[in-house]
A and B are shown apart, each in its own frame.
Chain A
Amino acid sequence: MENKLTKRKAVEKIVFSILGLLMLSSIAVLGVIIFFIFKRGLGVISWEFLTSMPKNGMTEGGILPAIVGSFYLVSGAILVATPLGVFAAIYMTEYAKKGKLIRIIRIGVNNLAGVPSVVFGLFGLSIFVKYLNFGVSILSGALTLAIVILPTIIRASEEALMSVPDEYRSSSLALGATKWQTIKNVVLPAALPGILTGCILGVGRVAGETAPIIFTAATFFSMRLPNSVFSEVMALPYNIYALVATGTFPQKQIPIAYGTAVVLLVLVLLINLVAIFMRIKFSKKNTN
């Protein structure tokens, strides 16, 4: 009896230690990345680095155009993708008859999420840049990024809409509301926190996407801030790629790349924090 018990306890202990260790190591990876990037990059961060133009072929100066460029690209992408994604999700959850068609659409959306982002880049190049003749521009880049996050937004919205209790719908309809009134006044407000969180996580994701903008929007070096949606722009992730892969003065440019990485990382973490904060705030508001 006693022997069995000690053995059982020992097994428990070993299993828990292994699980704990695995958990720690996955957190540690994040920690190491952050530590390493900060260690190499924090040195170049200064107010001037964030707010001034690059100088001398991107070997000195700041990264303001890249910050501004990323801001434009991400905002554009969200502005386009949010209505498209949310309305697609509304159609799929509220209007479409459950059946083959909707299953095929859903598989399509999931596959869209699995397409490598460089392929989206090529697609953007051929459709937006060439065929629609938008050129390498904010417009082409934002549209391409919009397609990249579309599946994320559709799925998040769909999940949020499906988690709205059916009773809300039936009691609204029973009061004589039309379907659209019901969606607009009851279902959407109840699903909003989930939809917003999905969109913000989408922002976090596209802010770091490099491949889709290489051929569609990004330029390595720019002395000016963009002045229209048809301007080429610098962007944070592309800046890192370009400095490291094609820079001609590595000893000067690599630190700038790490500095850019710090900015990008902080930005993405901040965006995710906002998403978490909003989720907590909304879920409190809805339950009391």
Chain B
Amino acid sequence: MSEIKMEVKNLDFYYDDFQALKNINIPLESNKVTALIGPSGCGKSTFLRTLNRMNDLIEGSRVEGEVLFDNENIYKENVDVVELRKRVGMVFQQPNPFPKSIFDNVAYGPRIHGLKDKDKLEEIVIESLKGAALYEEVKDRLDDSALGLSGGQQQRLCIARALAVKPEVLLMDEPASALDPVATAKIEDLIDELKNNYTIVIVTHSMQQAARVSDNTGFFLMGDLVEFDQTDKIFENPSDQRTEDYITGRFG
């Protein structure tokens, strides 16, 4: 095993009285893609959102256990959530660019973190768009509204927007589920590219996608992490019967 970027230890998560995650333990390796699979409502998205504390926004939610990020618990007191989210970026299921220009979308993060220098901003925007494999398609219309892009382009723009704040970890919540097969293939190629520089965690509904893009896979079922292992092992020789039932399509 290579270096561990984030390590989740004995994590419980509650929505009011409902326990959505039960004693989760997962190591997230640096520069690897970790896929989280499981049927709807199994807790995989909830888990993803505990990694950048987006669940803090939900009233009545509660976390127990630890999430170590470079060996520091992000749930400890006095943790700066803004700083955490800068370092742990997120891409959502629905492509959701702001109703602003392509340039302003990507520049949004650096700007709110205080960068004003125009040349520097432009440099970051171009670099991020290139990083998200979108630059060639939009370089002549950076000032056009982002809402004029196709769904797949919008999603890559959202990835560029996340990259622009230079995160270390990238969380992706079913990033291709709203896209057509061609756009999906582009996103998957991109993920493969991105893992050279980022630690990636991806929630996906598609087992083929998990098999294609990930190094490690975790299978969630009703709030439990049933199995976590190298992706090859999970798909070829799972050790838990429930994992096998799920990946062979017997339920879910």
Q: Which residues of A approach B to under 8 Å, CB–CB? A: 97-98, 165, 167-168, 170-178, 181, 185-186, 189-190, 285-288
Contacts of B112 in A (CB 8 A): 172, 175-178, 181, 185
From DSSP, what is the main secondary structure of chain B's interface residues? helix
Q: Given A185-B108, A286-B147, answer yes or no on A173-B98 (Cβ-Cβ < 8 Å).
A: no
Q: Which residues of A contact B54 (CB under 8 A)?
A: 170, 173-174
Q: Which of B142-177 contact A (CB under 8 A)?
A: 145, 147-148, 158, 161-162, 165
For the complex of A and B, list the 10 residue pairs with the smallest distance between their C-beta atoms, beginning with the closest: A176-B86, A167-B96, A174-B90, A176-B85, A175-B109, A177-B112, A181-B112, A176-B82, A286-B99, A171-B96
Tell me, yes or no, whether B45 is within 8 Å of chain A by CB.
no
Q: 20 other contacts beyond A173-B57, A175-B86, A175-B89, with CB at 8 A cut-off?
A: A98-B59, A167-B92, A167-B96, A168-B98, A168-B99, A170-B92, A171-B98, A171-B161, A172-B108, A174-B92, A175-B161, A176-B84, A176-B109, A177-B109, A178-B112, A181-B112, A185-B111, A190-B99, A285-B145, A287-B147
B85–chain A nearest beta-carbon distance, Å = 4
A288 contacts B59, CB within 8 Å? no
Give which listed residue, B94, B147, B162, contacts A288 with CB less than 8 A.
Answer: B147
Smallest CB gap from B158: residue in A: A171
A192 CA to B161 CA, complexed, in Å: 23
Residues of B within 8 A of A190 (CB): 98-99
Tell me the total A-B contact number using a CB cutoff of 8 A: 72
- C-alpha spacing A288/B148, complex, angstroms: 5
B113 within 8 A of A: yes
Contacts of A181 in B (CB 8 A): 112
| Given A185-B108, A286-B147, A288-B147, A175:B85 Cβ within 8 A | yes
Instruction: Tell me the minimal C-beta distance from B43 to chain A in angstroms.
Output: 18
Chain B: minimal CB distance from A19 (Å): 38
22 CB contacts below 8 A, A to B, read A167-B96, A168-B96, A170-B54, A171-B161, A172-B98, A172-B108, A174-B54, A174-B90, A175-B89, A175-B112, A175-B161, A176-B84, A176-B86, A176-B109, A176-B113, A177-B108, A185-B111, A190-B98, A286-B147, A287-B147, A288-B147, A288-B148
Contacting residues, chain B, for A175 (C-beta < 8 A):
85-86, 89, 108-109, 112, 161-162, 165
Query: A190 to chain B: closest CB distance in Å?
Result: 6
Does B52 interact with chain A (Cβ within 8 Å)? yes
Shortest Cβ distance from A97 into B: residue:
B59
